[in-house]
Structure 1
Amino acid sequence: MTVVDVFAHVLPPEFLARMDAIHPAILAKFPYMKNQLLTDVAEHRASLPADHQQIISAVNLNPEDFVDPKQAAVLCRAANDEIAAMVRANRDVFPAGVAMVPMNNVPAALEIIAEQVAGSDALVGIQLFTQAMGEPITAAAYEPIFAKMAAINTPIWLHPVFDTRKPDNNLTFSWEYELTQAMTGIVAAHYFRKYPELKVIVHHAGAMVPYFSQRIKYIQTPEDYADFKKFYVDTAILGNPLALDLAADFFGSEHVLFGTDSPFGIPPIGPTAVIEQAVSDMTVTAEQKQAILSGNWQRLLASLG
């Protein structure tokens, strides 16, 4: 059985060079991105266990944080072409990729979705972040992106970023809080009801939601509680089978997809082995474990437009 990791990262080297030309030594702002496995495809391939594939998405070096709307759109288009080329040249390990969109240029983002993602043989969705341009991802200006993705029946990968207004951000807890807040915003905006085909894959096993599911049940409305269950989530919490059991219990095991956040988490090559062992140690059935490792992704992929 081939294991499919739905949330693994790359930093396309030509895109990085373009960003570095605009802001020299840009990775000094993001030292964790100084990882050869992000940019060197040969080393990345060599780091993968046998019979493993990855759906690749770019790390959060987002053009809109550095350049004007027109430039951001050009950089995202070029990065998407580069990710698609990586997929086409390495189908055996990268069966698909995830596109970038310029969040300071929503009209261009919608054009990118229509022209680079819809019907693509290589790009199967877009990556959004919990905030963009200092606004929550559910700000009214961004709703057309959710509507467009639902219209083409193609998933959104939801990745956390820090809320820069907060002085005490940390990688252990802050990103999980930001993911939870973004999920709450999506539910509160009734996006799953307005856009029934909307599919959102949330990083880090749905963050705080499984642990606090009963607070959601008794504090929020029954309709909102039901909407929280419509998210897909990955397994990228660096192990912890009991927590993964909670995620499977709340979202349904069919909505849990194997994902690792590789190559981050556990040096030098990422946490794939640790997370795969955690899935093996879950209390769900053998059939459900196999579905988490690959079958759920294949079924989701088959359902897309």
Structure 2
Amino acid sequence: MKIDIFSHVLLPQFCKKMLDIDAGLLQKMPFLQNPLLLDIKMRQEAGISEVKQVLSFVNVNPEDYLEKDRALDLVKEANHELLETVLAYPKQFFGAVAMLALNNIDGSLSILEDFVVKHSQIFGVQLFTRHLGLSIADPQFKPIFKKCEELDIPIWLHPVFDDRKPDNNIVFSWEYEQSQAMLQLVEAGIFQDFPNIKIIVHHAGAMVPFFSERIKHILPEAQAEDFRKFYVDTAILGNPTALELAIEYFSIEHVLFGTDAPLGIAPSGATQVIIEAIEKLPLSYFDKQAIYSDNFKNLIKRGM
């Protein structure tokens, strides 16, 4: 079995409620129009039998549209829809990752304590590189990191556009935002304050492996070492050479199989392309198995 730890959905009930709030949402973010985000049966038909997915919602955040109590209510509803989907399709889905509403910190802390911890199929929470126009490293979000370390809840870190910039694009901007957020977290001392925190970064650590020597020579030694504490997935649409660079930098133990399905390569995502890229790597069977599932199982022992 291969566990795809970064796979996205936009489930029907949540989608309908978001469209009631913003009818133009699908036009603003065209990738949301992928039918496999909503249609689980169509997704089953396009799936690979040996792959089970860990689901997280696409980057549609109620906190950007609603005041804090309404945002929290909608997030809670979405999380329950996510859990129900995982339970209804156990052969296809391995588990899921919860949403938070960071305009309601107290309510988000209660989601960690009352929803994530109490459901073994919910392995962690998804945060974004920016929330409410602020870096995820902003001090007001620190209680979330503190509680995640306390409860041993991993964090999935996904990029979003920085709305201050006029030239955002899907090719390069998210990789920059991901890399910048990693730098901001390191410089904010997240790994110093919370040494047992687990943060999984999308897209193989974005720019970080390629610019590792800049990190090493420009940052203080302790901060440069903190970069290696992130976990990363394999969602870079193939490219064995780039994956090898990420493995060399973060270490084999910190690399997890993730594909961004069903996004990336039409119609159903890059799952097969990424498997082929991993198979081309000069790794032992056991190292490949570590990437495909063992590393993730070790990471989420709380839920096993």
On the 8 A contact 1:245/1:284 being kept in 2, the answer is no
1:106 corresponds to which residue? Answer: 105
1:270 corresponds to which residue? Answer: 269
- How far off is 1:108 after superposition? 1.1
Q: Which moves more between the two structures, 292-301 or 131-140?
A: 292-301
1:227 corresponds to which residue? Answer: 226
1:14 corresponds to which residue? Answer: 13
Map 1:132-211 → 2, pairs under 5 A: 132-211=131-210
On the 8 A contact 1:253/1:292 being kept in 2, the answer is yes
- How far off is 1:186 after superposition? 1.0
Gaps (5+ residues) in structure 2? none
1:119 aligns with 2:118: yes
On the 8 A contact 1:179/1:207 being kept in 2, the answer is yes
Whole-angstrom CA distance in 2 between matches of 1:219 and 1:30: 36
1:64 corresponds to which residue? Answer: 63
Whole-angstrom CA distance in 2 between matches of 1:196 and 1:91: 34
1:23 corresponds to which residue? Answer: 22
- How far off is 1:24 after superposition? 2.6
- How far off is 1:88 after superposition? 1.1
Structure with more relative contact order (C-alpha pairs < 8 Å, separation 6 or more): 2
1:108-137 deviation per Cα after TM superposition (whole angstroms, max 9, x unaligned): 111111111123222111000000111000
1:241 corresponds to which residue? Answer: 240
Q: Which moves more between the two structures, 188-197 or 19-28?
A: 19-28
On the 8 A contact 1:265/1:271 being kept in 2, the answer is yes
Give the aligned residue type for 1:213.
S
1:67-102 deviation per Cα after TM superposition (whole angstroms, max 9, x unaligned): 111111001000000001111111222121000001
On the 8 A contact 1:153/1:304 being kept in 2, the answer is no
- How far off is 1:23 after superposition? 2.4
- How far off is 1:191 after superposition? 1.0
Q: Which moves more between the two structures, 31-40 or 76-85?
A: 31-40
| Percentage of identical aligned residues | 46
Q: What SS does the corresponding residue of 1:261 show, helix, strand or coil?
A: coil
- How far off is 1:218 after superposition? 1.2
On the 8 A contact 2:120/2:303 being kept in 1, the answer is no
RMSD: 1.3
Give the aligned residue type for 1:85.
E
Whole-angstrom CA distance in 1 between matches of 2:168 and 2:33: 21
2:78 corresponds to which residue? Answer: 79
Q: Which moves more between the two structures, 118-127 or 233-242?
A: 118-127
- How far off is 1:22 after superposition? 2.2
- How far off is 1:303 after superposition? 5.8
Whole-angstrom CA distance in 1 between matches of 2:240 and 2:302: 28
- How far off is 1:190 after superposition? 1.2
Whole-angstrom CA distance in 1 between matches of 2:196 and 2:47: 33
Runs of 4+ in 1 over 6 A off after TM superposition: none
2:292 corresponds to which residue? Answer: 293
On the 8 A contact 1:154/1:304 being kept in 2, the answer is no
On the 8 A contact 2:122/2:303 being kept in 1, the answer is no
Normalising by structure 2, report the TM-score: 0.97
1:198-256 deviation per Cα after TM superposition (whole angstroms, max 9, x unaligned): 00000000011111111111111221121111100000000110110111001001100
Give the aligned residue type for 2:170.
L
Normalising by structure 1, report the TM-score: 0.97
1:3 aligns with 2:2: yes
Q: What SS does the corresponding residue of 1:260 show, helix, strand or coil?
A: coil
Whole-angstrom CA distance in 1 between matches of 2:214 and 2:28: 38
- How far off is 1:293 after superposition? 1.1
On the 8 A contact 1:206/1:247 being kept in 2, the answer is yes
Whole-angstrom CA distance in 2 between matches of 1:197 and 1:118: 17
- How far off is 1:284 after superposition? 2.6
Gaps (5+ residues) in structure 1? none
1:10-33 deviation per Cα after TM superposition (whole angstroms, max 9, x unaligned): 111111111122223432222210
Q: What SS does the corresponding residue of 1:95 show, helix, strand or coil?
A: strand
Whole-angstrom CA distance in 2 between matches of 1:50 and 1:92: 9
On the 8 A contact 1:118/1:152 being kept in 2, the answer is yes
Whole-angstrom CA distance in 1 between matches of 2:60 and 2:217: 39
- How far off is 1:193 after superposition? 1.6
